[in-house]
Amino acid sequence: MSRKEIVLVTGANGEVGHGLIKHLGENQLANIVAIDIHPLDEELRPYCREMITGDILDKMLLGRLVFAYEIRTIYHLASILSTRAEFNPEAAHRVNVEGTLNLLRLGVEQSQWQGRAVKFIYPSSIAVYGLPDLATKEREGRLSEWQWTAPRTMYGCNKLYCEHLGRYYASYYRQLARDRHPASIDFRCVRFPGLISAFTLPAGGTSDYAPEMIHQAAQNLPYACFVRPDTRIPFMVMPDAVRALVDLEAAPRAQLSTEVYNVTSFSLSAAEIRAEVRNEFPQAQVSFEPDLARQGIIDSWPADVDDDLARKDWDWRPQYGHQQAFYNYLFPNIRQRYA
Ligand code: SER
């Protein structure tokens, strides 16, 4: 029986899922099978060959996929973000870690079935970093992949651990077993900065003040920013995030010297974001009302990250720097969205 080659996308309804599915679908780059806990958004349906409403913790559901399709790549996007995860850390752990484990296992089974490595593309996050205080954050500036990885959120712990699990499943899975099968997954991971989309809003993240500020201003609604004006982390707009994922998938394995890559575009303070927003929407009402707990999380994330390795290994370059991000992508599209 011949099986169809597909790309599996988990967390399909999420911010990144939206961007990725549209990109893959519009450019006819893949037959997409989408999984989400909620029914797939109407606008994504035309791009997908199959939509599965279900839980990545449901092993039976995933088991069925092993036999139904020939999976080229798994984009495992499903996750509970950093703020939401703090309200129920154990539930977040189940989704973020056990869910990932289930997908890794599916990837290994598929790889063995096919006799070649299924690509496993995993978005990690700046949340894997944990700087102890603001003085250190300021002093350290751009962090490379291996520095200060002592996260202080459940989400950050989950992401960091899953980076390690990915490496383990790709290279060392059942390393002592006599009947060890040679084929396993080809695990590739990008650590994203805060992401901003013109078309969707994130749910439950701690970097959400940036997208929220912009989207609120475009609707002429007031916004109380939950971090201090001097708060600085790196950001990227969604088209670059999607390109990072698909470019990493396309990169020849021989060029990749590691499994985990920082990617970034621009680093801005909350005050600088407000200045851009006010430049475009002079009537915007943005105040600063820091939430000390969420502020503590953001203060532990780096002011910037070093993505030189991604640039060197697979030619990563963001297309949207600071100015292009606001004036060529965010503002025109957001204006149109709320017009
Ligand atoms: N944007 C995410 C969050 O705030 C970080 O990966 O949780």
Report which protein residue has its CA nearest ligand 1's atom 2.
205
Q: How far is the CA of 205 from the centre of ligand 1 (A)?
A: 4
Per-residue pLDDT, averaged over 43-53, amounts to 96
Give tens-digit pLDDT for 22-37.
999 999 888 999 999 9
Q: How far is the CA of 230 from the centre of ligand 1 (A)?
A: 19
Question: Given the CA of residue 125, which atom of ligand 1 is nearest to it?
Answer: 6
- pLDDT at residue 2, rounded to an integer: 61
- State pTM to two decimals: 0.97
- pLDDT at residue 169, rounded to an integer: 97
- pLDDT at residue 285, rounded to an integer: 97
Question: Given the CA of residue 155, which atom of ligand 1 is nearest to it?
Answer: 7
- Cross-strand partners of 48: 32
Q: Is it the case that residue 162 has pLDDT exceeding 70?
A: yes
- pLDDT at residue 66, rounded to an integer: 84
Q: Which of 81, 158, 162, when mutated, tests ligand 1's pocket best, judged by the most ligand atoms within 8 Å of its CB?
A: 81
The token pair that represents 326 in the structure block: 């606001």
Per-residue pLDDT, averaged over 93-102, amounts to 98
Give tens-digit pLDDT for 245-280.
999 999 999 999 999 999 999 999 999 999 999 999
Q: Which of 87, 129, 189, 208, when mutated, tests ligand 1's pocket best, judged by the most ligand atoms within 8 Å of its CB?
A: 208
Per-residue pLDDT, averaged over 230-243, amounts to 98
- pLDDT at residue 207, rounded to an integer: 97
Give tens-digit pLDDT for 164-221.
999 999 999 999 998 888 889 999 999 999 999 999 998 899 999 999 999 999 999 9
For ligand 1, whether the C-beta of 153 sits within 6 Å is no
For ligand 1, whether the C-beta of 128 sits within 6 Å is no
Which carries the bigger pLDDT value, residue 126 or residue 180?
Answer: 126
Q: How far is the CA of 125 from the centre of ligand 1 (A)?
A: 7
Question: With contact defined as beta carbons under 8 Å apart, do 313 and 259 qualify?
Answer: no
Question: Given the CA of residue 159, which atom of ligand 1 is nearest to it?
Answer: 6
Per-residue pLDDT, averaged over 92-118, amounts to 96
Q: Is it the case that residue 21 has pLDDT exceeding 90?
A: yes
Mean pLDDT of the chain: 96
Give tens-digit pLDDT for 53-83.
999 999 999 988 888 899 999 999 999 999 9
Amino acid at 6: I
Please give the Cα distance from 201 to 205 (Å, whole number): 10
Please give the Cα distance from 102 to 128 (Å, whole number): 21
Q: What percent of the chain has pLDDT over 70?
A: 99
For ligand 1, whether the C-beta of 207 sits within 6 Å is yes
The token pair that represents 207 in the structure block: 């970097």
Return the sign of the alpha-carbon dihedral for residues 297, 13, 198, 162.
positive
For ligand 1, whether the C-beta of 96 sits within 6 Å is no
For ligand 1, whether the C-beta of 194 sits within 6 Å is yes
In the chain, domain spans: 4-194+234-265+302-320
Residue closest to 237 by CA, chosen among 278, 280, 202, 186:
202
Q: How far is the CA of 192 from the centre of ligand 1 (A)?
A: 8
CA distances from residue 259 to 75, 121, 142, 242 in whole angstroms, order as listed: 15, 10, 20, 18
Q: Is it the case that residue 1 has pLDDT exceeding 60?
A: no
For ligand 1, whether the C-beta of 82 sits within 6 Å is yes
Please give the Cα distance from 183 to 263 (Å, whole number): 28
- pLDDT at residue 183, rounded to an integer: 85
| CATH 3.40.50.720 is the classification of domain 4-194+234-265+302-320 | yes
Q: How far is the CA of 255 from the centre of ligand 1 (A)?
A: 28
